[in-house]
Structure 1
Amino acid sequence: MIVLRPFWLLGAALLLSLPAQAQQIQRELGDFDFKLATTPTRSMAEGLISPSAVGTFHGGVDLSHANGLYFGQYAPSMGLTKTSTLKLDNYVGYKQPLGGDLGYEVGVIHYSYPTLAANNSYALYGGLSLLGRRIGGALNDKPSNRTGTLFANLGRLPLFGVDLSVKVAHHQFSTPYTIGDGSRVDGFSDWSLKFSRPWRGVDLNLTWSNSNLSGSGCDAYSGINTTCDSMVTLKAQRSFF
């Protein structure tokens, strides 16, 4: 088990001391590059951070060495409100160039809910980077279901001037889920498309997410998005660090 509780406590204390608009602080700590941020900073692991409800407190820390080793902890939700639960995503990985603009990355991420007795799980991930673009996959195998995820950051689209990232996942239940009308759901798929563009110092993000579940079938949903149904969200944020 990956245990990074002290790092989370440090990150929480520092994040709460920052202005609300701050996004990232970066420092050199000996041979390590230290990052403290309110958004995920790790390229491949970022695509696997579990979703959190809008309005929750979130943040984490990341340490990386010049030899390619890195580890960190991100809290999608710090559980500071009555309706939120503390979530911790711990990860450790290795990233190296293969020559030119080609590189690879592998790692493992641990999803945990410290205030709950169960629901902990692991995911193995890996991917390739080429010319500033990244594509990868992950497998999360836990007793209740198995999830396979493909994600890609395709970089700037030349005709539109926006960055595009895509994530698609398939979830297979170990035991079929019975919904209200008596029918059973063996599994489901979900996906998201994210368009990003800087504008006058502000990062604009437009995201469309959806799944192949609908109606009462959404009772079985526990996927990569915050909701089962089709949803479009627009987010604007400005970094002051």
Structure 2
Amino acid sequence: MKQSLTTIAITSLLAASTLSFQAFATEGLSANVAMSSNYLWRGVTQTDDAAAISGGIDYAHNSGFYVGTWASNVDFGDDTSAELDMYLGFGGDLGQGFGYDVGYIYYAYPDSAQTDSSNEYDFGEIYGSLSYSYFSVSANYGVNTDDGAKLYDGALYISADAEFEVADGLTLGLHVGDYSFDNDYDSNDYTDYGISLSKGGFTFALSDTDMDNHDMKFTVAYSIDIDL
């Protein structure tokens, strides 16, 4: 995680930006910025266990439609240094405390093929989730993969999550996910687990997988949400 002086500086800049945008506020438009000691995606580091700075912009309509983009630094040991996600979807209430969310997300790595044209990592997923009270279940299915991302073509990630307020402003999060790959890559199948505590923009988390030679990861993150 970045040092406290960096956090204070970024927070001050964001506060100034928020003031400058107040005259041009758009209902449903928001932004987010985060700093983390490690960028974990489904239990696996995307930054070679190094720190990450990320941010995004989202628009959500009263109808339930939303669209957004999110970016972060990454490190896969090659040319790739950045990830850019673009997504859109639709969510709402089903009544009796149930909710749903369906959509599509595209993961882009703009500089992954700088020196090797076959090293293009971009891929997409269609996703859906159902929620009830503190609990949710989700499914993501890999589609339209580039040459360097064939691993994700037809891959299915199913996860279950729960969030509970255990004290004033303190949220406990629980997660388990199962990643199943298509026949040619089924030796890569794995399960990941996670537990987290969040309060006031800070999140402290433990994550692990059942993969061989994979150690438990501890991460600290701080995030800021901004209404634009």
Shorter-chain TM range is: 0.5 to 0.7
- When residues 163 and 112 of structure 1 are mapped into structure 2, their CA distance, relative to the original with a 3 A threshold, is same
Distance 2:175 2:142 in 1: 18
Aligned residue among 116, 135, 138 for 2:112: 116
Q: In the alignment, residue 151 of structure 1 is paired with which amino acid?
A: S
Deviation at 1:113, TM superposition (A): 0.9
Hey, what does 1:205 align to over in structure 2?
204
Aligned residue among 39, 46, 60 for 1:52: 46
Query: Percent identity, aligned pairs only?
Result: 16
Deviation at 1:188, TM superposition (A): 2.3
- Gapped runs of 5+ residues in structure 1? 1-17, 41-46, 177-184, 215-228
Deviation at 1:204, TM superposition (A): 3.7
Hey, what does 1:191 align to over in structure 2?
192
Hey, what does 2:151 align to over in structure 1?
144
Distance 2:190 2:131 in 1: 25
Q: Are residue 20 (structure 1) and residue 10 (structure 2) matched?
A: yes
Report if aligned partners of 2:141, 2:157 keep a CA contact under 8 Å in 1: yes
Q: In the alignment, residue 126 of structure 2 is paired with which amino acid?
A: L
Task: Please tell me the root mean square deviation across aligned C-alpha atoms, in Å.
Answer: 3.8
TM-score (norm 1): 0.64
The alignment partner of 1:186 has SS state of helix
- When residues 206 and 57 of structure 1 are mapped into structure 2, their CA distance, relative to the original with a 3 A threshold, is closer
Deviation at 1:52, TM superposition (A): 3.4
Hey, which bits of structure 1, 4+ residues long, moved more than 4 A?
A: 21-30, 238-241
TM-score (norm 2): 0.67
Deviation at 1:236, TM superposition (A): 5.2
Report if aligned partners of 1:58, 1:78 keep a CA contact under 8 Å in 2: no
Distance 2:225 2:131 in 1: 28
Deviation at 1:100, TM superposition (A): 3.8
- When residues 98 and 29 of structure 1 are mapped into structure 2, their CA distance, relative to the original with a 3 A threshold, is farther
Hey, what does 2:137 align to over in structure 1?
135
Deviation at 1:98, TM superposition (A): 1.3
Equivalent residue pairs, number: 191
